[in-house]
Amino acid sequence: MRIGFFLILLSAMLLNAGAVKPSDYTQPEVCGGCHAEIYSQWNGSMHSMAHKDPVYQKLFIMASRETNSTFDAFCTKCHAPIDYLSGNIPSADNYKVSEISEKGISCDFCHTVNASSGIGNGAFISSPGKVKYGPFNDSSSMYHGTAYSELHTKAEFCGMCHDVKHPFNGLVLENTYTEWKEGPYNETTPCQHCHMTPGVTKFEANPGRAAAGAPMREHIYTHYFVGGNAMLPGLLGSPEHERLAKERLRLAAVVEILDIERINETVNLNVKVTNIGAGHKIPTGLTEAREIWLDVDVRDKAGNQIFRSGAMDAGGYIDHNAVIYHTVFGDSTGKVTEKVWFADRILLDNRIPPKGYSLENYSFTIPQGTNGPLRIDIKLNYVSASQELSDLLFGKGSVKPPVIEMASANATIEIPVPRKEMPGLEILFMPLIIFAAYVRIKRNRGRI
């Protein structure tokens, strides 16, 4: 066993030294000849766009320049793994990859992974060749060899890339696999059960065939690989992946107004946000860029705004007093940075864990003369990339990430109309009192 594992590790070292060529891997279009449905699901997914992603490209070039290329291989390993394995590492000065690596995480890369060296930072071991590894122990093909891979059925397969630590200081940059591993779903629901089945937040069987002429099976894993990123598929022309991402976001969380307490003219509003559908924290992945936030809007009967928290201005910037769920990184001086290559510490991480929740309190004053009832509207919104990062990468105002409403809640506050009190008797009889006093004075003067 030890000798076998040593040989696997030695093989990985040779691969990483450039022992393979991009041409050793089959183009995904070739795979699509037999696996047409699976190919169509993959095409347009974030895996297929792993290298084309313009956000990634801008970040890569910026990181390459600002770190003297020390981050190049680190980024390439998961976004263009075939070129990484062949030793073709792009840089800011020569940002070119092979034709097959332009297609990101493609079929033949995943199905030639036959072992793992651990979790995170691209811990895959790939052996390109005629044998393709997958989740069935009875599959056969006239075109290539087949082999059963238990690893392909486990969350650890995804964990090889979906945990990321800073290559030099070890700071956790992305922790999706570990969030799942430490959460309540780790015994029953691996990543594939949500991200590779028709069920958005739970396993749902998908009967079908893995390829033309293949046997009918009770379940075939889908290959949409849908997460929360609706922005990139929308920008890059994949409306089906955009639709699926929005659907997933809308089933991930709920917002509740727990109670409304009114003391004279002061209103205290308690709000609960619960992660009901994600097996990891929300948001996850590129959490210094992703933002989920509460937009609370209170208006009177005429539509006049009484209170607002979480408004987005015309430039795409969110009110700085808003409740935003995300990660904030700091550099070595403690200053906030969106550049993960300079990240040295975590300044804030208030994301919501699976089946967890966050309680928020808002307080505002009802102005005198307000015409009720008051209408409270609360939205839980999401953007795949903050406006700050978008402006940094593409120039101020060039790109506006689309806002997706994940959940909402509303309520009303009744404002009693002030009661008009009946005037007192002294007011009603005041004219008579004045007249009587006048008559008395006149009489007294007559006596004098």
In 147-266, which ranges are continuous DSSP H helix? Answer: 155-159, 176-181, 191-195, 231-235, 239-250
pLDDT at residue number 293: 98
pLDDT in tens, 341-397: 999 999 999 999 999 999 999 999 999 999 989 999 999 999 999 999 999 999 999
| Under 8 Å between Cβ of 251 and 200 | yes
* pLDDT tops 70 at residue 447: no
Q: How many helices (H) and strands (E) does the chain have?
A: 15, 17
* pLDDT tops 70 at residue 442: no
- The residues with which 379 forms a beta bridge, in sequence order, are 295, 408
Does residue 444 lie in a domain region?
Answer: no
Residues 323-344 have a mean pLDDT of 97
Distance CA 243, CA 222 (A): 16
Does residue 445 lie in a domain region?
Answer: no
pLDDT at residue number 125: 97
| Residue at a domain's end among 178, 206, 241 | 241
| Structural domains of the chain, count | 2
Amino acid in the structure at residue 425: L
pLDDT at residue number 199: 86
Does residue 447 lie in a domain region?
Answer: no
pLDDT at residue number 12: 46
| Under 8 Å between Cβ of 126 and 112 | yes
Find all residues with CB under 8 Å of 108, minimum gap 6, and list them: 25, 26, 27, 28, 31, 128, 132
99 and 42 assigned to the same domain? yes
Percent of the chain with pLDDT over 90: 86
Over the range 149-170, which residues count as b (16 or more CB within 10 Å of their CB) and which as e?
A: bebbeebbbbbbbbbbbbbeee
191 and 327 assigned to the same domain? no
Domain that holds residue 355: 252-413
Tell me the pLDDT band of 19, cut-offs 50, 70 and 90: confident
371 and 289 assigned to the same domain? yes
Distance CA 116, CA 123 (A): 6
Stated pTM of the model = 0.88
